[in-house]
Amino acid sequence: MVQINRPDLRPETRAFLDRRAQGQGLLIDGQWSEAAETLPTVDPATNGTIGLIADASASDVDDAVQAARRALPVWRRMTPAQRAGILWKIADLMEARIDDLAELETLDQGKPLFVGRWAEIPGAIGQFRFFAGQSMMIEGNMIDSSINYQPEGKQVRSWTVREPVGVVAAIVPWNSPLVLTAMKLAPALAAGCTIVLKPAEDTTLSALLLGEIMMEAGLPAGVLNIVTGAGATAGAALASHPGVAKIAFTGSTATGRAIMDAAKTDFKRMTLELGGKSPAIVMPDADLELAIPGVANAIFFNAGQVCIAGSRLYVHRSIHDQVVEGVVRYGQGLAMGHGLDPVTQMGPLVSSRHADRVARFVDGARKDGASILSGGELLGNAGTFMAPTVVTDVRPDMEIVQEEVFGPVVVAQPFDDVEDVIAAANDSQYGLAASVWTESLSTAHRMSSAIEAGTVWINCHAMYDASLPIGGVKRSGWGRDSGKQALDSYLEWKTVCAVL
Ligand code: NAD
């Protein structure tokens, strides 16, 4: 029995933990099994152990890839409507288990319950529904070619068809585990691919419950396989496996480079959703009642552990102090605590290792001469809570301005005119997202076109939906999750040219 000192935990969640959080977390060819080695998984709010996850070996990974290869013809032979039916059923079953999924996500990742329950898990469910529809809309073209060396009395007919790329290695991070997993699984399955999923070692549990749900929804054995465990071993073995046709990766830019190396021998297809340092820009004509909580939430939501977090705040000098004071006040008003406590608005960072990393960035900023207006210290017995932190008096070349912190730390800088702020926003190795806060339609258009980013939000930040492609330019990665563009990335084109 897993021992967790939370009397408020639902009996369904406890039953799941007893079933799966004792090392039995490998799903291979429709069967759950154990690995020879295990890793502890921890509640980041207390540092208490929740249970054990399987630490898959290279041989476990090989078994999973072989199972996925065997399942490819089975999944492809099903009609698009049959596949869509299963995707839709997965969404229905997730909805029925939404409270269990949200509790697991909070326990394992630390996020406040409402974040999973009302934002991220509905987002994950939306992925399965959107791609259920998309799976029935895959089409090729007839092409009227100009080939003129055709045999007498014959005609050339040419067409293209779309085919699944093959086995997909889905490798995901720990910050928003379930929705990021769904962003890969749903389009891959819609395209007819089979999958080996490697969740992040810090946040594996919700993926295992999703695995149970997907099997219950009628997914044939081997179509989804799950190998849990360490990135350096299980992840690396999966990324370099010759049986994998595509790697769908979300994580850090550094690991993205390791994935590119692993992919190059076999020319594996890749989508890489990587890091960010996204600007939030408040223009002098912005509606500040909307903008102040908007830019504060852009960085403090999920304790800043969001790839698209608005971690660089640029405010027009005429309103700079007012906006920055508002963001400080907003942060100071957030109730911090265990994510399962209903009053909690901000939880811990995902692990003490990550909390130390975030604290090192703030210390570095102090040493570089920046001012820390609020926060900046680790709190709580577990040492994993970081108070909402606002940093000012920085230079553009400072580490705190250039590097992704991945915590509740925002760097505020004033600007004087629109050209300056566009140049400052683009002075980054990253290009994932940005937000612009303005009441002027022409400023909104001009800036959304000038900013180098995969997504630009106007008067909002981090609005996403299964229908909207998301991904980055520059070192924020390659390709897009969500939207039709995601489906496309799991499909190959085949050209057929026939003399008839
Ligand atoms: P990470 O790169 O450390 O790990 C991500 C995943 O890769 C984990 O499952 C890990 O086990 C695995 N991994 C690690 N080393 C590997 C290797 N050598 N080969 C194969 N797999 C390996 O990232 P993280 O710390 O878990 O997540 C935070 C990062 O993710 C941040 O940089 C954040 O910006 C990024 N992120 C990006 C997006 C996006 O859409 N662009 C979304 C969320 C998070």
Q: What is the pLDDT of residues 49-81, one digit of tens each?
A: 999 999 999 999 999 999 999 999 999 999 999
Give the count of beta carbons closer than 10 Å to the beta carbon of residue 156. 17
**Pairing status of strand 156-164 against strand 491-499:** antiparallel
CA distance 437 to 31: 51
User: Average pLDDT, stretch 409-423?
Assistant: 98
User: Domain range for residue 412?
Assistant: 279-466
The packing angle between helices 11-20 and 98-109, to 10°, is 60
Task: Work out the percent of the chain whose per-residue pLDDT is above 90.
Answer: 96
CA distance 474 to 484: 22
> How much distance in Å is there from the Cα of 445 to the middle of ligand 1?
33
Please name which of 374, 411, 419, 408 lies closest in space to residue 395, comparing C-alpha atoms: 411
Does a structural domain hold residue 4? Answer: no
CA distance 428 to 252: 16
Do residues 166 and 304 both lie within one domain? no
Q: How far apart are the first and last CA of the chain?
A: 68
Cut 0.85: pTM above it? yes
| Average pLDDT of the chain, as a whole number | 97
Largest CA distance in the chain: 85
Do residues 194 and 289 both lie within one domain? no
Do residues 438 and 357 both lie within one domain? yes
Question: Which CATH number do you get for residue 184?
Answer: 3.40.605.10
Residue 39 has pLDDT above 90, yes or no: yes
Do residues 145 and 213 both lie within one domain? yes
Which three-class secondary structure state does DSSP give residue 109? helix
pLDDT in tens, 268-289: 999 999 999 999 999 999 999 9
pLDDT in tens, 171-197: 999 999 999 999 999 999 999 999 999
* 201 assigned to active site: no
Residue 96 has pLDDT above 80, yes or no: yes
User: Average pLDDT, stretch 26-47?
Assistant: 96
> How much distance in Å is there from the Cα of 252 to the middle of ligand 1?
4
User: Average pLDDT, stretch 461-484?
Assistant: 97
User: Average pLDDT, stretch 349-353?
Assistant: 97
CA distance 147 to 263: 36
Which tokens in the block code for residue 217? Answer: 């929804």
> How much distance in Å is there from the Cα of 300 to the middle of ligand 1?
20
> How much distance in Å is there from the Cα of 116 to the middle of ligand 1?
19
Task: Give the active site residue among 216, 307, 404, 419.
Answer: 307
User: Average pLDDT, stretch 402-417?
Assistant: 98
Q: Which residues have a Cβ under 8 Å from the Cβ of 266 and sit 6 or more positions away? A: 242, 244
What is the count of structural domains for the chain?
2
The packing angle between helices 205-216 and 98-109, to 10°, is 160
**Residue 436: left if φ>0, alpha if ψ -120 to 50, beta else—which one?**
beta
SS3 content of the chain, % helix, strand, coil (to 5): 40, 20, 35
**Alpha-carbon distances, residue 77 vs 65, 106, 163, 305 (angstroms):** 19, 38, 12, 40
* 273 assigned to active site: yes
The pLDDT value recorded for residue 345 is 98
pLDDT in tens, 334-343: 999 999 999 9
Which three-class secondary structure state does DSSP give residue 209? helix
The pLDDT value recorded for residue 1 is 61
Does a structural domain hold residue 2? Answer: no
Lowest mean pLDDT among 144-158, 296-310, 372-386: 144-158
Do residues 337 and 362 both lie within one domain? yes
Do residues 168 and 307 both lie within one domain? no
Which three-class secondary structure state does DSSP give residue 129? helix
Q: How many C-alpha atoms does 305 have within 13 Å on its Cβ side?
A: 27
Does a structural domain hold residue 5? Answer: no
**pLDDT bucket at 381, cuts 50 / 70 / 90:** confident
DSSP secondary structure letter of residue 476: T
In contact, 35 and 211? CB cutoff 8 Å? no
Do residues 259 and 366 both lie within one domain? no
User: Average pLDDT, stretch 380-399?
Assistant: 96
The pLDDT value recorded for residue 148 is 83
Most ligand 1 atoms within 8 A of CB, residue of 180, 197, 252, 353 to mutate? 252
Residue 3 has pLDDT above 80, yes or no: no
Does a structural domain hold residue 53? Answer: yes
> How much distance in Å is there from the Cα of 251 to the middle of ligand 1?
2
Question: Which CATH number do you get for residue 370?
Answer: 3.40.309.10
* Atom nearest to 183 CA in ligand 1: 40
Task: Give the active site residue among 212, 273, 289, 452.
Answer: 273
Name residues contacting ligand 1 (CB within 6 A): 171-175, 180, 198, 200-201, 231-232, 235-236, 239, 250-252, 255, 258-259, 273-276, 307, 404, 406, 432, 472, 476-477
Residue 7 has pLDDT above 90, yes or no: no
Residue 375 has pLDDT above 80, yes or no: yes
Do residues 175 and 235 both lie within one domain? yes
Q: Whose CA is nearest to atom 41 of ligand 1?
A: 273
Residue 2 has pLDDT above 80, yes or no: no
Which tokens in the block code for residue 87? Answer: 């995707």
